[in-house]
Structure 1
């Protein structure tokens, strides 16, 4: 269906959702639109597009000189096929390929080469290589998957390579790692065997092993099959019809070691013949300026980010009209996922678009590493960020009562078959009806209209009870607290289990970090602003479970090695509370110590 005023395909397909209430209390939701026929693999779509438009830009990344280094579709196909032949020649085409590098041309062509011949790709978080001090999680991953090849960009990865390579061959961009082979020396002229192996790919062939964040214990490897990944791209295409006519242009920093960046975003470009500009910025004060610079060149048609990314970028766009125009000029969709977008950010984004006469639409979806990743999509107009959308074509959701909440569970062609070498975890992940347990709580936005979508009600495992028996929904309260702070806070850990009040530990925006002393005590003006934040939150209503009575400012960042945070900046609530139990105790002390700010004063 075309947009009424442009003649181009519609941004969204109109959702048609069917629901069924079962005698056991479960509610089943599914799209009335069947999943359309689609290729076996994203690799097949990549090869088709490379043949159709070999000169189109596929990937651009900043080089060491600060200039864009570009890779066309035809160049990517040629390099991937040569590396695929190199894997065949070295008897590595049936072994996993462990990639330590971040998003790059090397990472892309290695991944395409491996998947072309059926070798699973195992992309790992750069944080585990460059930020970790013990490489324990990286070694655990290597021990589990037993890769045949280790890939690292350059000498910066030498300690990580030493931790996991052993006697395995190592591939590096220029061969500057000890014992490594340069890309140019690894590849070979492709033979017919490359095409034969690609043609032999099946939907159940494992394309990737993606590790979850491992914030509680050893990371687990989620099997991502070729069928999962391609089915998910077809599902998204049916929800966003414009993708088939308008190859997407992305400016993206999200790591390919994570399902959001590596499956949702990168595969969207590969499946639809688009272009990705790798953003060397990140949602951090020292790096977001690079994103602003890159917008001028990329001028994306889709912008996909986590809420922290929008929070870092928005102030720059508000004070720089040229950057705002570059951001909005061609932007059809602004997309966020993985956490609720605080309402004050949503409102500011809409105002920015209106001020520049832009027609950008905000949207979101929901899913997991285990669902490749999208299971739902808000492919209809929404005005609140906790709406998760409706099931995509081919997906069936089961809404299952769990205690006082309703858990959403998933089945469909985009759902994982399980966890690598962990049959125990695989068995526990699925219920007796074959649905994947997600641990996420939801409600229907409108009980009488399933097409109005689902509303997120937090992670069931994160929620807790006060001593009064009142449930606290952390997933709901946390973004409300951040919104009430008007940019003063960047994140929060909600506390108060079994106590008589809800409290929180918070991180200040870096602009305000100097306003606490060495002991973590806020200056008087900051104390007043924090108390004002709590009063604004309380004024929204919702009872004791939606009010934070006390806060304590954290001065130490969340630690990756301690499992407090993932590589993408998501805070593990339980891990932070457990590691900083002494600070949690301060929040309930009476009288409150100087570090603690009380709503009433």
Structure 2
């Protein structure tokens, strides 16, 4: 693709960082851009937006029909003040919090806003805690740890089993519809405003005031509870203000289509509060980047033509497939979009190039792509790519206010982080706090990075996997799963949207292949395409295509730590309930390998297991007859 075709203009500051080497070999890297002053109360953002643009839509609920209800800034602010008044009159405060069980909605938004702005903490839980499984272990743990005074769920019938699993004797239970479980409806919270009490409580909030408690994904053991203070939330928004374009809120307001859940830090902190900061409109997407649900996102994009689009990398594969066939979608998507962003995983270079070719086709320019690195513990921010780059896969450089420490750990470079947006410790878990912070107060997230160019740190860092995810082959060779995974996603484009790396203490690397939605549709329903147990796709044409791409990849990657010797193609979707994939579509490699240990054993079996691609040292596929045998078994 010609690199002389310009990017669509989107002003962002050039990297400006300092890097200092310490005697212990670690490198301290920080932004030279001053963070400056920021708000003390995160509620100041939606109050300012309500003053400037009272009738502008703050939230819009997308739906298959044409109703698309809106919540204006004026209405959102007024309802928040009413809810604040109700809560304050009933003794809610810093030590008596609110818990929200259900997903994104207008009521969810205004209840959170009304509580947080007057210093009442809110815990937003994943609906899966209450809707998946029968023992509600995570829900009970969260309730026991945070001790909420009120629990809210949209529908009392939907959440009935979850409510019945809890001791609610000392709690207010609020619902909108269905069984009431305690007699309080959401409308009961919308009484008169006590302006004196609300303003006094709003002014009493400081940066140290607790605003939220968010839970991590809990990929190992119980989820960890992360306290979000007002300082964390406001500092995160200030750093985002520095690395994003100064927008024209009057003539060119931000329009974002977003599906991310608000119990996650990016959806609930970066996006929700960010929209209020820029006085924009957040369209609540009723689609998701999953097979069967992305069609709604496509229809919504046609109607909205957003000015920003942020999603997980898998969604760009779905989107590109559609735009290559649907010119109406292509024109609508690129009409106003100033920047595309991705997170949760790395975007492949191949997908970046595909999107740029489409941008050139529809608007004659390339589109800037941005991403970053952060976690629940860092309020969703930390590093960012805030400049036009020809390369994806970067996580950028520290944003204003952030300091990172880079230190060698084995063959990796571990990254640790400190800043006003970073938590100071886990909620009521001093043992975990001691485990995850070093002696200098840096949060040890467990991620690894490498430099684009070690001599020029301003060119940015590349995510290099989790320090604990790397493994050794039987010959003692280390396998870097992060970089290998990205290379294989590129190599398998457009067949695969992701891969899971296996091979701990094995003789060679093996992979479990996750197909793109288009490939899944093409092959999964073909007669005889599935294995006898229905868990793998064994269609000969697909196996041949995957084998060809792996062979081509292996020719350029002959070392044992990079070469793929075996592969199989998964037919089953990944499970949120089993922590294989989060609500943000991030794949937990360790959980997949653990939950599918039988498939990993099959992958490395030498008994002629059908449907397993096995490549010899010359990259030819071994065992073609096994594929035929598998087909016979399936038939």
TM interval, shorter chain, is over 0.9
Q: CA deviation at 1:516?
A: 2.0
Asked if structure 1 preserves the Cα contact closer than 8 Å seen for 2:45 and 2:273, the reply is no
Residue pairs, 1:395-544, within 5 angstroms: 395-509=402-516, 510-511=520-521, 512-514=523-525, 515-519=529-533, 520=536, 522-541=538-557, 543-544=559-560
1:3 matched residue in structure 2: none
Q: Report if the CA contact (8 A) 1:20-1:29 is conserved.
A: yes
1:202 is aligned, of 184, 200, 206, to: 206
Count residues with an aligned counterpart. Answer: 595
Say whether residues 1:115 and 2:126 are aligned partners.
no
Within-5 A mapping of 1:118-197: 118-154=119-155, 155-164=157-166, 166-167=168-169, 168-174=171-177, 176-191=179-194, 192-197=196-201
Largest Rg, 1 or 2: 2
Q: Which residue of 1 aligns with 2:271?
A: 265
**How far 1:176 sits from its partner (Å)?**
4.9
Return the alpha-carbon distance in structure 1 between the equivalents of residues 605 and 152 of structure 2. 51
CA gap of 1:42–1:345, structure 2 versus 1, over 3 A, is same
Helix, strand or coil for the counterpart of 1:241?
coil
Distance 1:318 1:41, change over 3 A: farther
Q: Is 1:132–1:560's contact at 8 Å kept on the other side of the alignment?
A: no
How many angstroms apart in 2 are the aligned matches of 1:578 and 1:178?
A: 39
Given the alignment of the two structures, is residue 554 of structure 1 paired with residue 560 of structure 2, yes or no?
no
The separation in 1 between residues aligned to 2:303 and 2:86, in whole angstroms, is 35
8 A Cα contact 1:233 1:268, kept in partner = yes
Query: SS in structure 2 opposite 1:38?
Result: coil
CA distance in 1, matches of 2:537, 2:50: 58
1:323 aligns with 2:339: no
From 350, 354, 367, the equivalent of 2:356 is 350
CA contact (8 A) 1:377 1:391 kept: yes
RMSD: 2.0
Q: Is the 8 A contact 1:247 1:269 kept in 2?
A: no
TM normalised by structure 2 equals 0.90
Kept in 1: contact 2:348–2:393 (CA 8 A): no
**TM-score, normalising length: structure 1:** 0.95
Structure 2: gaps spanning 5 or more residues: 1-5, 622-635
> Closer, same or farther in 2 for the Cα pair 1:63/1:283, shift >3 Å?
closer
Verify: 1:300 aligned to 2:306, yes or no.
Answer: yes
Residues 89-148 of structure 1: per-residue CA shift (max 9 Å, x gap)? 222233221111111111110110110111111111123333344322122111211111
Are residues 270 and 466 of structure 1, via their aligned partners in 2, closer, same or farther at CA, if it must alter by over 3 Å? same
Distance 2:491 2:215 in 1: 34
Confirm or deny that 1:570 pairs with 2:572. no
Do 1:552 and 1:587's aligned partners in 2 also have CA atoms closer than 8 Å? Answer: yes
**2:281 corresponding residue in structure 1:** 275
Structure-2 change in CA distance of 1:199 and 1:165 (3 Å): farther
CA contact (8 A) 1:175 1:182 kept: no
**Unaligned ranges ≥5, structure 1:** 1-5
Tell me what 2:48 maps to.
48
| Secondary structure in structure 2 of the residue aligned to 1:546 | coil
| Aligned-partner Cα distance in 2 for 1:391–1:432 | 21
